[in-house]
Amino acid sequence: MTGSERVAVIGAGVVGACVGWNLARLGAQVVLIDAGQPGEGVTNWSFSWVNASNKTVRRSYFDLNVAGMAVHQALARDIGADSWWHPSGHLRWADPAAQATVLEAVDLLADWGYKVEVHSGAEVRRRLEPALAVPDAAPVVFYPDEAWVHGRRLVARLIRETVARGAEHRFDTAVCDISTRTDGSIRSVTLTDGNRLDVDAVVNAAGPDARHVAALVARQLPMRREPGIVTRVECSPVPVHRALHAPGIEIRPDTEASVVLHSRDTDALIDTDAEPAELARHLHASARRAVPALGSARISRTRVVNRPIPADGFPSVGAVPSVPGYFEAVSHSGITLGPVIGRLLSTEIVSGERDAMLADFRPQRFAE
CA distances to 3, 18, 56 from 162, in Å = 15, 9, 33
Contact 69, 146 (CB under 8 A): yes
The arrangement of secondary structure in 6-48+151-224+310-365, i.e. its CATH architecture, is: 3-Layer(bba) Sandwich (3.50)
Query: Nearest-CA neighbor of 54 among 122, 116, 96?
Result: 116
Signed CA dihedral, 16, 17, 22, 23: sign only: positive
Signed CA dihedral, 38, 44, 45, 46: sign only: positive
Give the pLDDT of residue 2: 56
C-alpha span between 293 and 295 (Å, rounded): 5
Spell out the per-residue pLDDT of the chain, length 368, in tens.
Answer: 655 789 999 999 999 999 999 999 999 999 999 999 999 999 999 999 999 999 999 999 999 999 999 999 999 999 999 899 999 999 999 999 999 999 999 999 999 999 999 999 999 999 999 999 999 999 999 999 999 999 999 999 999 999 999 999 999 999 999 999 999 999 999 999 999 999 999 999 999 999 999 999 999 999 999 999 999 999 999 999 999 999 999 999 999 999 999 999 999 999 998 999 999 999 999 999 999 999 999 999 999 999 999 999 999 999 999 999 999 999 999 999 999 999 999 999 999 999 999 999 999 999 76
Contact 327, 204 (CB under 8 A): yes
Q: pTM, whole model, 2 decimals? A: 0.97
Give the pLDDT of residue 3: 55
C-alpha span between 16 and 155 (Å, rounded): 9
Give the pLDDT of residue 273: 87
Query: Nearest-CA neighbor of 110 among 141, 69, 155?
Result: 141
Q: Which amino acid is residue 34, in one-letter code? A: D
Give the pLDDT of residue 263: 98
Give the pLDDT of residue 334: 97
Contact 289, 222 (CB under 8 A): no
Give the pLDDT of residue 249: 98
Buried-exposed string 23-55: b where 16+ CB fall within 10 A, e elsewhere = bbbbebbbbbbbbeebbbbbbbbbbbbbbbbbb
List the beta bridge partners of residue 318.
328
Q: What is the 3-state secondary structure (H, E, C) of the chain?
A: CCCCCEEEEECCCHHHHHHHHHHHHCCCEEEEEECCCCCCCHHHHCCCEECCCCCCCCHHHHHHHHHHHHHHHHHHHHHCCCCCEECCCEEECCCHHHHHHHHHHHHHHHHCCCCCEEEEHHHHHHHCCCCCCCCCCCEEEEECCCEEECHHHHHHHHHHHHHHCCCEEEECCCEEEEEECCCCCEEEEEECCCCEEECCEEEECCHHHHHHHHHCCCCCCCECCCEEEEEEEECCCCCCCCEEEECCEEEEEEECCEEEEECHHHHCCCCCCCCHHHHHHHHHHHHHHHCHHHHHCEEEEEEEEECCCECCCCCEEEECCCCCCEEEEECCCHHHHHHHHHHHHHHHHHHCCCCHHHHHHCHHHCCC
Kindly list the domain boundaries of the chain, sorted by start residue: 6-48+151-224+310-365, 90-144, 227-306
